Structure 1
Amino acid sequence: MGTWGEGAENQPQLVLSEDGSLGGTDGCNRLFGSWEQHGDVVSFEEVGSTMMACPDVQTWLAGLDSARVYGDTLHVVNASGIEIGTLVRASE
């Protein structure tokens, strides 16, 4: 599925590996877990993160539950079904 977000300092990035594992950062904490894709919907499972406190960093990505892919944009949704942010496919 690839890398979403450019991974600049204090910016979120999500790496969805072909083996179903996920890794990345919410801009502060490291994220890890697994994912599955069904059509244009991506479901995230067993997601965990480190628990560092970082000032001036928006850590919305840590609240991910699922996502939808529209073109080169991943629309991230929380457990309540509310879109909490977007990530653009990173250039390879």
Structure 2
Amino acid sequence: MRKILAGALTILGLATLAGCATAPTAPVELPDDAYGTWQSPVEGAYLEIRDDGTFGGNDGCNGFGGEYTVGDAALELEPGFTTQMFCEGVDDWLKKTATIEVAGDTLIAYDDAGTELGQLTRE
């Protein structure tokens, strides 16, 4: 009887764990013109949007990156990492970007409050 009960509990536990598993997510789809590298007016600063749902860049001093999701009218950036070097005189607005919109050859960066931080152009 103990073996039957132990077996049943094992099966129940495995079924519960299987229910917690998540299915792989589908690749994020964007207009083809959104992917690629976008240059900032700041020397050395850029933002790269990749087709695997990730982004990376540099604000002219520090590197940063993470993942993004596609919203109704914009990409929502979810920061994953940033370096923290001190660089005198560098405006680090680019790494503060929360959402972006692509309008032709211009990428517009916004902060969490929806305030425009700056614009980048296609490399």
Give the TM-score band, short-chain normalised.
0.7 to 0.9
**Distance in 2 separating the partners of 1:2 and 1:81:** 23
The within-5 A match list for 1:25-64 is 25-38=58-71, 40-64=73-97
Deviations 1:17-66 (A, max 9, x none): 11011111011100110113346511101343111110121111111100
Q: TM-score of the superposition, structure 2-length normalised?
A: 0.65
**Distance in 1 separating the partners of 2:73 and 2:102:** 5
Structure number having the greater strand percentage? 1
Ranges of 4+ aligned residues in structure 1 off by more than 6 Å: none
Asked if 1:5 corresponds to 2:39, the answer is: yes
CA drift of 1:7 comes to 8.9
RMSD: 2.0
Identity of aligned residues (%): 34
Q: Would the aligned equivalents of 2:61 and 2:90 in 1 still touch at CA under 8 Å? A: yes
**Matching residue within 96, 102, 109 for 1:76:** 109
Match of 1:65 in 2: 98
Structure 1: segments with no counterpart, 5+ residues: none
Asked if 1:85 corresponds to 2:118, the answer is: yes
Structure number having the greater helix percentage? 2
Structure number with higher relative contact order (C-alpha < 8 Å, ≥ 6 residues apart): 1
**Distance in 2 separating the partners of 1:63 and 1:70:** 20
Q: Write the letter of the residue equivalent to 1:2.
A: G
Q: TM-score of the superposition, structure 1-length normalised?
A: 0.85
Q: Would the aligned equivalents of 2:73 and 2:101 in 1 still touch at CA under 8 Å? A: yes
Cα pair distance change 1:73/1:27, threshold 3 Å: same
**Distance in 2 separating the partners of 1:11 and 1:39:** 30
